[in-house]
Structure 1
């Protein structure tokens, strides 16, 4: 509210300056600002001043109105004209950089923000904005800008979190931990930073800290990432029952993955519950295998078959069956043995397996009819 009132005050000053040279209805304009009808205010000022505006304050004011209204095209037009009059103005450069970012022109935004760095090398905000323009965590310039921003304001949470993430990508876990630790000490109730710290603390083997901090975070709500980190810390501190309990929560939420199932299996193994260890070992394997793997082998086999590499095609189709039994693989094997390898007995077996695998009657109707007819033909005694 204070920020909005300050904006209104500044705009009111601007209205006064307008009234000195152009007949502007100050009351109308103030009402438009107060009700946040910025688009109308911008159009009103454009009409009042015409196209040949050379006053810097006026250009800024109109540009601001369109920027607040979300009309970035008009906003950029007026701010660019203001920039041409005063290219070293930080507010103008910030506005043009923001507009370019919103329009997806990151290279242009970098140029405007780069001009700000030249004018004010200790401006925290511009380094934060520049860092956000680089999406890849391993981009060297992203790290440079994050380091500079963090140096200027080490307690700012967003920068601390982003910098820690980049450090973690480079496996500089100690640096990541220190960055987050400083920011958390300045804002002890920042749960975002605390959650970000857990996997890094796990990497540094600060398991007890992870358990204590994670359990506190879980009191504020269920978070799959926190559960996973705490469960791992419990595993590494040999609290296997507790680890299994936490990993089971992830399963109930449908948030399990290969890694969590693997640690569950290991936990059961150390508890000498070999039956459950084998169950979760199997689940780990299933999770690690893509549900599309059999389809990939079907594609590979077909490629071999079309290239007359029948032995390789046969191996590929059979390999696909090891991952998932599908009607398609049985069909391809049957056709291969029937028409290419001339192995009628095997072909008949695969045709029958195809029908037993319950292919989709709607989608595979023609194939089903063909297979049924071919099975009858192959069953007839040879003449």
Structure 2
């Protein structure tokens, strides 16, 4: 039905063009539209009108056909001709916005949207689109708030605005925005899911449980299970919390938070053996395999600043997370060359060698460590 309505509008425009003395084969053109051969339609219209035509309806339709055909550069040329004649034409401004957005020209797209807002300060779509081009929460907030004021039930704006408020830790505002949109669309599961972590933050645990259980019946979702598990913990239904997070663990999508709540739940149930197991799992999950490397990087900075004791302390801190050949070797060098502590230097050189460094990739370091051990101990 919508296609036929659009075609009828186009045909009415063509009839008006024909009335101005231009002969158009409407049946042929209609065939192009019906089969979505927009490039052919644009080419046909361009064959009828001269390049310098000032006919707004013709230019608009040529631009539209080129845009639908993906010929964005050609479409922009025609729309710009219309814009030069009618700089307050909102549909043309929106089309130019769309073209520049699709071509990745964000600054130009924003300038057209700003022009739309100048012409129509209550244009919901313009504010909604402007928000997408902003980089910081505060700048996004400005446009999303205005769009939400104009249409508080639009689900996309409500979702985006709530996410900004959440990022700014303004949980009540985020919750209220979603509540209004959900009231207008009670089956919008995306909005309901977005509201769950906010409800937890605000202590609305029973609400989380009711909504979360309903959402899980629709689709098993890890984020919903995560939020629901927290709510069960806070209402002291520890076994349900464990059951949900166990399911996530089986799927291999546990995280530091879910393991921590399992630890606390087992503790509250006085199952201290499992509590201890999950406490260790929580610790292991919280430690990145890259943590020793991060400490090594920091220690190297201390070395560069000649803060050798701080460097040694930091290297050792990295070793508390995992053995690391690079750190053992760097400590050997640090105690050997800078702190002049031969005994400690030998200890770390030896630890480096015992930790089985790669014989090919670390050949030079291995030979150097062995030579320094021999030189510092007098043992060849």
TM-score of the pair, normalised by structure 2: 0.89
Distance, in Å, in 2 between the alignment partners of 1:303 and 1:110 is 43
- Give the CA deviation at 1:177: 2.5
Partner of 1:213: 211
- Give the CA deviation at 1:126: 2.8
Distance, in Å, in 2 between the alignment partners of 1:342 and 1:132 is 58
C-alpha change, 1:262 and 1:345, in structure 2 (3 Å) is: same
**Unpaired stretches in structure 1, ≥5 consecutive residues:** none
CA contact 2:137–2:168 (8 Å) conserved in 1 = no
**Are positions 1:274 and 2:272 aligned together?**
yes
Partner of 1:195: 193
* Mapping 1:173-184, distance limit 5 Å: 173-184=171-182
C-alpha change, 1:219 and 1:361, in structure 2 (3 Å) is: farther
Count of aligned pairs: 379
Partner of 2:6: 7
CA contact 1:19–1:26 (8 Å) conserved in 2 = no
Distance, in Å, in 2 between the alignment partners of 1:193 and 1:111 is 31
Partner of 1:76: 76
Q: What do the CA deviations read for 1:82-126 (whole angstroms, capped 9, x no partner)?
A: 112122222112212222333333343333333433444443333
CA contact 1:15–1:29 (8 Å) conserved in 2 = no
**Are positions 1:44 and 2:41 aligned together?**
no
Partner of 2:124: 124
Distance, in Å, in 2 between the alignment partners of 1:35 and 1:97 is 26
**Unpaired stretches in structure 2, ≥5 consecutive residues:** none
Partner of 2:159: 161
Distance, in Å, in 1 between the alignment partners of 2:250 and 2:124 is 44
* Mapping 1:85-164, distance limit 5 Å: 85-139=85-139, 142-164=140-162
Distance, in Å, in 2 between the alignment partners of 1:372 and 1:350 is 11
- Give the CA deviation at 1:13: 2.8
Q: What do the CA deviations read for 1:280-330 (whole angstroms, capped 9, x no partner)?
A: 333333333333221122233334445544333322221211122111111
SS at match of 2:335: helix
CA contact 1:147–1:163 (8 Å) conserved in 2 = yes
CA contact 1:110–1:130 (8 Å) conserved in 2 = yes
- Give the CA deviation at 1:266: 1.8
Partner of 2:29: 29
TM-score of the pair, normalised by structure 1: 0.88
Partner of 2:15: 16
Distance, in Å, in 1 between the alignment partners of 2:286 and 2:326 is 22
**Are positions 1:296 and 2:294 aligned together?**
yes
Partner of 2:357: 359
C-alpha change, 1:208 and 1:339, in structure 2 (3 Å) is: same
